[in-house]
A and B are shown apart, each in its own frame.
Chain A
Amino acid sequence: MTAVLDTPTAAGTVVSTLTERSLRARRLVVDMAASERGCHLGGSLSVLDILVAALHRAAAGDGTEVVLSKGHAAAGLYAALYVSGVLPENPAPLYGRAGQPYTGHPGPKVPGVRFPTGSLGHGVPYAAGWALSRRIGGHGGLGIAVAGDGELQEGLVWETCQVAAARELGNFVLVVDRNGGQNDGLVADISPLPGLTDRFAAFGFEVVETDGHDLAALSELFDRDRSAARRPLAVVAHTVKGKGVPAVEGRAGSHYVTIDATRAAKWKRAIR
């Protein structure tokens, strides 16, 4: 499948496909919340559309690598990898089980995962290093890091932004899943991020704000030709924690959830 959208009809088809994938993935994430281990539900659901769109971009086969830097959203990543055709098996029944690679934070034993993440901040420089390797190797492809807004409190993120801008890494894309939450509460209460787009711009990034659940907008952003770009791209994607599951949507308490099968079935029926 090509990721280049030539006509409105083709774009509509892609968006329709991605929408169907996101809905399926959301149900899988709820299944993982209903596992013995539970999962980081709110952040997995907020980042899901970003991941589905980014993985579709990577399927173009030009060497684009997607790194989920907010590795605690592993359930969302596993689900997105499966519905995108990267993972050959449904991860939900295997999630968190002994002998299976589907741990609470993703590692490279999972097909489609190249770097270990979860200790926050590291996925951003991994993706930047990947982008640099593509550029100096004379190849196309992007290094896409998907970070959380809480994760931006890590200094490693800004170290990397400094380097990426200085190196004019136009094929590096940093997407911020701005759901406004973090482990202990709201980002705004703990360590707020005023003027976030201005911060990236000041670092020398090209900056775009978008609805992080708008698959058409996300696809269009990822599909832009960046082969001649000299500035890395920051995408501030406004999202909703727990997106798609009305019972938890927008609630800080959805950060980590363990539910029973009955509730899971009810939540899955309500997914929209």
Chain B
Amino acid sequence: MTLSGRDAYRDELTALAAEDPTIVCLEADLGGKNHPFQAAHPDRFFNVGIAEGAMIDMAAGLAAGGFKPFVSTFAPFAALRAAESLKLTLGYLNAGVTVMAPYAGVSGAWFGTTHHCLEDLAVLRSVPGVTVAAPHGEAEMRAVIRSAARGGGPHYVRTGRNAAYESLPLPGTQLPPVNWESEGDPEDVCLVSVGEEGTRLSLAARASTGVAHAHLVYLDHEHLAESAAELARRHTRFVVVEEHRSQGGAAEALALLLPGCEVTSVAAGREWPSTGGDHQEVMAALGLDLPAVLAAVAQARRGRPAAAGLVRACVR
């Protein structure tokens, strides 16, 4: 059985820490219960309580002292409440701290707006030097965590709540800048999937339309620039699907990086989801569902501007 992003993170980190005594794990009361890292390495596990900013700044102190801190709290609290600590710790200090941020997007669903986070990519992508990742499936999450532990640079890793998805086939031991899940007609539209839900929707849309599907794991500027170059070698029209606001998301960045191409975004737009429901129902309320993706593909194929509810990020 495949693991959720959160569980894959915990399991992989616990295993890595057995070989690397500099790895320490910090939680802020939102994942520290029955944590496998605590069971295996109790002297390097710290549940600091509900203190997100202090946790990230303390991680800077731990990194300066020679440790590799992995800290975790929900995405809205990491990326927004503790944004200044992230700017200083991950950005200015370039500290070797990895922030694991579950509950990204609206995976908090019926918990409400305070537990949603549709702005984290915009915040973190604007901080220089931070590796930003949104893995889909257990294998990608494990690969991201291994890379973060090995490289020692600052990382922000977003994931959902508890959903578990089968990993896409990985072409090698390293995560590629672009994972071509399906190579379609170069003259046709290409779906670009970001994160767990963007990938789920893109897989479904690819199955019914036959378009190409390129999956991205790393979303910081440097990785996206590399990905954009590869995307442009194969296609000219892209539909990016992501569980994030269109402002500051991957589609907006790709539109700037692909000036000769058409980039359309299926994203959350500017609404505040404020009603209940499960994860997919809340996404649908934002216009993030399969019909929206299929409509975007159809419109991109026709080469016509997007309809209401979709954002045409950049056409040049």
Contacts and interface: CB of A to CB of B under 8 A. Distances in A.
Give the size range of A's interface with the partner.
20 to 34
A160 B49 CA distance: 10
Contacts of A133: 61-62, 64-67
B93 A116 contact: yes
Interface string B71-114: 00000000000001100100011000000000000000000000
A132 B60 CA distance: 11
Interface string A241-266: 00000000000000000000000000
A197 interface: no
Nearest to B57: A125
A90 B48 CA distance: 41
Nearest to A129: B61
Contacts of B163: none
Contacts of A108: 93
A107 B58 contact: no
Interface in A90-146: 107-108, 114-116, 119, 121-122, 124-134, 136-137, 143
Give the size range of B's interface with the partner.
20 to 34
A47 to B, nearest CB: 20
B128 to A, nearest CB: 14
Contacts of B85: 122
A128 B61 contact: yes
B44 interface: yes
B49 A129 contact: no
A208 B73 CA distance: 35
A116 B46 CA distance: 24
Nearest to B24: A136
A89 B57 CA distance: 30
Nearest to A130: B61
Contacts of B19: none
B194 to A, nearest CB: 31
Nearest to B54: A159
Contacts of A134: 65
Given A156-B53, A160-B58, A163-B54, A122 B65 contact: no
Contacts of A156: 53-54, 57
B61 A136 contact: no
B43 interface: yes
B54 A125 contact: yes
A101 B44 CA distance: 36
Given A115-B64, A121-B53, A163-B58, 19 more contacts: A107-B92, A114-B64, A116-B88, A116-B93, A128-B54, A129-B62, A129-B64, A130-B62, A136-B24, A155-B53, A160-B51, A160-B54, A160-B57, A162-B49, A162-B51, A163-B54, A163-B55, A166-B49, A167-B46
Closest 10 A/B residue pairs (Cβ): A129-B61, A133-B65, A129-B58, A125-B57, A159-B54, A159-B51, A130-B61, A125-B54, A160-B54, A163-B48
